[in-house]
Structure 1
Amino acid sequence: MTAAKKKFSELPPKSQALIIIGAVVQFALQGAALRDLKRRPAEQVKGPKPLWVALSFLNYFGPIAYFVVGRKSES
């Protein structure tokens, strides 16, 4: 048996707050990754920029992967 789906307004305040915080973190990570991709020359990105843009839409994983492995060092 599966639990009945609840509307956001029916969730406890603590759960609502955690969902909102998670969404804000996801959008901040994705925004930072997309902004960095737009400003960074293609020569400083490992792999094609359009691929990294698409991957940035994978919750948490995409933007973090870009910052960890997608950028070449500036040295």
Structure 2
Amino acid sequence: MAKRSWGELSRARRTAFVVAGAVQLGLAAAAWWDLARRPAERVRGAKRVWAAVIGINYVGPLAYFRWGRQPR
């Protein structure tokens, strides 16, 4: 598959990329915000490790929300 520049993509594909990027950044921002405000004793594992994991595309924030937080 040949590389395409941004201008060569269809409007629908450009929109899909922008939406996917916004969702990814929103998930990461929400996860980092929660991690920063959550006490360390209510996080499974080290907070600095989770901070790094959250940076991994969609997988990191979803993993944090699923396995990183302890229930109230």
TM-score scaled by structure 1? 0.93
Instruction: Tell me which residue corresponds to 2:71.
Output: 73
CA distance in 2, matches of 1:42, 1:32: 17
Pick from 39, 44, 47: which aligns with 1:46? 44
Number of residue equivalences = 72
Secondary structure of the equivalent of 2:35?
Answer: helix
Secondary structure of the equivalent of 1:46?
Answer: coil
Structure 1 segments (4+ residues) deviating >4 Å: none
| Matching residue's letter, 1:51 | V
Q: Which has the higher helix share?
A: 2
In the alignment, structure 2 segments of 5+ residues that lack a partner are none
Pick from 52, 55, 58: which aligns with 1:57? 55
CA distance in 2, matches of 1:6, 1:25: 23
Q: Could you tell me how far 1:13 is from its partner in structure 2?
A: 0.6
Secondary structure of the equivalent of 1:59?
Answer: coil
Deviation string, structure 1 residues 17-60 (Cα, Å, up to 9, x no partner): 11000000000000000000100000000000011000011110
